[in-house]
Amino acid sequence: MREIQFREALGEAMSEEMRRDEKVFLMGEEVAEYNGAYKVSQGMLDEFGPERVIDTPIAELGFAGVGVGAAMNGLRPIIEFMTFNFSLVAIDQVINAAAKMMSMSGGQFSVPIVFRGPTGNAGMLSSQHSQNFENWFANTPGLKVVVPSNPYDAKGLLKSSIRDNDPTIFMESELMYGDKGEVPEGEYLIPIGVADIKREGTDVTLVSFGKMMKTVYEAADEAAKEGISCEVIDLRSVRPIDYATVVNSVKKTNRIVVVEEAWPLAAISSEITYHIQKFAFDYLDAPVHRVNSMDVPLPYAPTLIDAILPNVKRTMEAIKSVMYR
């Protein structure tokens, strides 16, 4: 297979779906004339024109609402937030309109919309531009929340998200847009809500999603040097969560570490921990451990960023703890 960048995989997914279905369109800040803030939509304005690749003012609440209304009337919008930190301005439309419309209309209106953009820290951008809201959105009935970790998954999951009749939050990472990975030439879809066992292992289950998978892979490599076999699971979506894959893995390894960039309180890792103690308690040989960002706003200084975010050192400490080493 060819190797392409994460941003190219996303661009291909959107372009293929726009060619397939004329109801699909892209809207957001700088998506058209500038070819996208992260060059994800490069060339799309030239191919599809300004009626389907639409630059907006800096008004997330406004263009998110336009997208919801368009979806209710039969179109399939892709709404790009320059970062999900800015989605807070539009959260009323996402939570109170898109997520609830099917229920509140008694099934008369579906909202087939994708809200996509980068999540989490991207270096020295300080507190207001470095937050993870996957667990916020995953807490909301009516939404699906997808967080891919590599170009192959990103393309297949974005195509599925665009075709889905439910509103979908599709969260990427500024630090991954240049990552390369193998992506096939032909069409393929990846179903939402199916986790992927990236590596088989026997001693401990490592669970994560999004760019934290890089940290997990590094930790698994370090653990292997010390004779610890890690089974690595990429959730890929955090609503719905593929609990069965995680539970079955823990039944095999008897230990689990969950790595997540979000703050620890009411996080996805908290939910995984609860589910494991409920459905795999008798199989556990050690308490569930999780590695989250420290419970503080992310600072600007790079030394403090390194100390606060999940990293290989903290993940290795968690692995050794569940192994009683």
In contact, 218 and 259? CB cutoff 8 Å = no
Q: What is the DSSP string of 164-183?
A: -SS-EEEEE-GGGTT-EEEE
Q: Which of 8, 12, 29, 60 is catalytic?
A: 60
DSSP, res 51: T
> Which among 7, 45, 8, 39 is positioned nearest to 25, based on CA atoms?
45
User: Does residue 212 sit in helix, strand or coil?
Assistant: helix
Catalytic, 129? Answer yes
Give all strands (DSSP E) within 11-103, no chain letters: 24-28, 53-55, 76-80
DSSP, res 31: S
In contact, 321 and 312? CB cutoff 8 Å = no
Q: Which of 129, 172, 231, 260 is catalytic?
A: 129
Catalytic, 172? Answer no
User: Does residue 218 sit in helix, strand or coil?
Assistant: helix
Which positions are annotated as active-site residues? 60, 129
